[in-house]
Structure 1
Amino acid sequence: MSRVFIRAYIEEDALELLELNIRNREHFEFWMPLKPKEEQYSLGAHQERIRQTLQKMQDDRYYAFGVFLKENNALIGEVSASFIERFPAETCMIGYQLDRNYNGQGLMAEAVSQAVALLFDKYAFHRLRAEVMPENIGSSRVLEKVGFRREGLARKSLYINGNWEDFTMFALLKEEFLV
């Protein structure tokens, strides 16, 4: 029985999403190639982000799902799908982030598994991919628990925190995913 559920954001999630991002700012930004500007840490910016995300979801350009605890409906993270390519590829890249207070409990693997099922079944993707910095062992473990396979190493792939970083590449095919 899963301890979390995912769903698309609604505008009423903006304050809780802002609080999650402020609370985890240093933790989330460490892994980001592009850091949010100070003005992006406002309620208005998060309301606009949700509106834009909902439009992008309608346009099949980007998907984002909040990760909520079943016990109290608290927003604790996000799973997203970007870099969408449709026919003939039917692929996208997934990303995720979790409130640092919940790391190491298996919650993100549960959320990613739900997102993967949704991306394969409802949104008809054939192949999902993800890239993780090799030192991010917890994130690699999430993908492996869900069934992703390591496919290689993208050397010096993104410029993050003043360095060109390597990324381990993972992928999962629809026919390999076991719910």
Structure 2
Amino acid sequence: MGTIFLRPYQLSDAEQLLELNVKNQLHFEYWMPVKPQANAYTLTKQQERIEQMMENSLSDRSYAFGVFLTENNQLIGDVSAVFVERFPAETCMIGYQLDREHNGKGIMAEAVRQAARILFETHQFHRLRAEVMPENIGSIRVLEKVGFRREGLAKKSLYINGAWEDFILFALLKEEFLFD
């Protein structure tokens, strides 16, 4: 068995999700266009967030998977699929974040690979998209390791941290994914 496994969030994950987000608040928020409100960092808000994720998954609006260490079931990150578009596109955009302490170990690439398999096989997407700021070299490496290819550059696409930021556009097609 591998170092990590993915699964949809459960209400019982709320405490670990709160701990992960508090521990990595500055790291995670740096890359977010919309920052969480201060009251987001409570157990109640994390429970509400998980309930919303579960509801979104049931209604095919978005999917969220916790990334857990196999050895101790510790939550260390997540991979999500948002902006779901069904026929004729059958596409979604993925995003991911990992506890800073675990960066640089290949864990996120494995998590994105596992998520891609689930999204292609279980949820029947044809195309996965991702957008990354050019300065986010680690995130670019994750996508490249999984087989995403660069498709272009969206100039001044999102307003983040007081500036309009460019984003590199990536995509992975189901027929290009290496199912192993």
Work out whether 1:73 is the aligned partner of 2:73. yes
Give, in whole Å, the separation in 2 of the partners of 1:12 and 1:91: 30
Match of residue 46 from structure 2: 46
- Report Cα offsets for 1:81-115 as digits up to 9, x if no partner: 00000000000000000000000000000000000
- Check conservation: 1:2, 1:110, Cα contact below 8 A: no
Segments of 4+ in structure 1 off by > 4 A?
Answer: none
Match of residue 110 from structure 1: 110
Match of residue 62 from structure 1: 62
The two structures have a TM-score, normalised by structure 2, of 0.99
Match of residue 90 from structure 1: 90
Work out whether 1:36 is the aligned partner of 2:36. yes
Amino acid at match of 2:64: A
Unaligned runs of 5+ in 2: none
Match of residue 6 from structure 1: 6
Give, in whole Å, the separation in 2 of the partners of 1:176 and 1:53: 28
Shift of 1:170: 0.2
Amino acid at match of 1:49: R
Shift of 1:2: 2.5
Amino acid at match of 1:95: G
Amino acid at match of 2:138: G
Work out whether 1:155 is the aligned partner of 2:128. no
Shift of 1:71: 1.1
Amino acid at match of 2:109: A
Amino acid at match of 2:55: Q
Match of residue 127 from structure 1: 127
Percent identity reads 69
- 1:72 counterpart SS class: coil
What value does the CA root-mean-square deviation take over the aligned residues? Answer: 0.6
Work out whether 1:15 is the aligned partner of 2:8. no
- 2:152 counterpart SS class: strand
Amino acid at match of 1:85: E
The total of aligned residue pairs comes to 179
Amino acid at match of 1:98: L
Give, in whole Å, the separation in 1 of the partners of 2:22 and 2:38: 11
- Check conservation: 1:79, 1:111, Cα contact below 8 A: yes
- 1:19 counterpart SS class: helix
Amino acid at match of 1:144: E
Give, in whole Å, the separation in 2 of the partners of 1:135 and 1:119: 27
